Structures are given as C-alpha cells and as structure tokens.
Amino acid sequence: MNIFVLCIVSGKWSPTINMRKVFSCIVISCFGLALVNCSNKPATNEETTFTKQDSLTDTYLAYQDSMLQAWNIMIHDDNQKIKKMHSLLHELMVSNPDQQEEFSKFEERLEQLRQLRYTQKSMANADVVEEYDFASSSLVSELLSLTESQPEFAYNSTLQALAEEIQLADQRVNNYRNDYDLIVMSYNRFLEKNENYLKALDQTDPQKKPLFQMVSE
C-alpha cells in the first residue's frame, strides 16, 4: 500500500513496480487498520449492578449472623458454668460421701436449670428470664457457700479453681447480655427504617427481637 501511495503521490508510477508487492502491501495495510479499529472498540464486559435490595439483604443477613453468634457465645458460657457446677459437685461427693443425699438434690436442680432456660423468643416474657435467673443465682450462691464451708476447701486446689471459675462465669452473664442487646437494638432500628423494603424482599414481616434490657426493667 505504501509503495502504491508513494508512486501515485510522487507521480512516478512505474510499470516496473511488481504488482504482487503492491497488492500485498494493500492487504497488509487493510489488515492493520482492522486491528486498530478492533482495539479501539469499548469493552463489552457486563458490570455487576448492586441494587438497594441487594444491600439490604446483605445487611439483614449480617445482622442475623451477628445476633446468632452473640447468642451462642452467651449460651456456651452459661453451659460451661453449669458443667463446672457439676464438676464441683462431683468433687464434693468424692470427699464427702456422707452428704450424698444433699449433693444429689443439687444435681437434680442443675438438670432442671437447662430446661428452665429462655430462648430468643421466650425471653420476650420477663417471667421466663426472671425464673431462670433466680434458679441459677440461687444454685451458684448455695453451692459456693457449701463448698467454701468444707474443711478440705482450704487446701483442695481443684475445689478452689472450680469455685472461682463458676463465680467469674456468673459475673459475665450481664456482659454477654449487654453485647447481645447492642446488636439487637441496632437490628431493630434497621427493621424500622427499612420495613417496607424487607417485606417486599421476603414476602414476610420481620419481627423485632426482645431485649434483656427490656426484661429487666
């Protein structure tokens, strides 16, 4: 192509020029132009659109996960406290076989404690939480008092360690409840602000969660 153009522009067209070379130049030049045109075309990759409904769904699910995690941590710690109370009773039974009947009553109360415990739904009833808290705190107080009154408590490191762990776990209850409440309060505000969107999203009516703070008031 270049040879052909130069010949025309300069007015020096010569029949001696090899026409095959001219044709080759034209083909190569056209091919090059085609490549340039292709490279200048805008990219056709589809961009992902993130709608408000997508954002609300992600936020809603994130709240659900956070609440469940906070709840599970709290319940796990409470289960560990009950487990340590069982261990403490076992230690007392071994060292005080003459008090088996008294310790057996404690065991029965501990077994009932799990059945009394509230759920995320039942805690909306203040009486359910209050009943559990009373049963739990009574057991902790009575069991620790009984343990510390035993002569071997002064030198039995296992009894001392278990008693301390139970006491600390009992003190952590309100901390875990406060952590849970903070997430739930934020979740409830989210529901209030986006109620209509969420209804359209799930075809359901998401309900607010009860708070420990409300139960204790």
Give the count of beta carbons closer than 10 Å to the beta carbon of residue 56. 17
| C-alpha to C-alpha distance for 90 and 96, rounded to whole angstroms | 10
- Tens of pLDDT, residues 47-103: 455 576 778 888 989 999 999 999 999 999 999 999 999 999 999 999 888 888 889
pLDDT, the chain, mean: 80
Residue 12 pLDDT more than 60? no
- Tens of pLDDT, residues 15-53: 444 444 444 444 444 444 444 444 454 444 444 555 767
Q: Classify each residue of 77-97 as buried b or exposed e, where b means 16 or more C-beta atoms within 10 Å of its C-beta.
A: ebeebbebbebbbebbbeeee
- Tens of pLDDT, residues 143-192: 999 999 999 999 999 999 999 999 999 999 999 999 999 999 999 999 99
The pTM assigned to this predicted structure is 0.72
- Half-sphere CA count of 147, side-chain side, radius 13 A: 29
Q: What is the pLDDT of residue 204?
A: 64
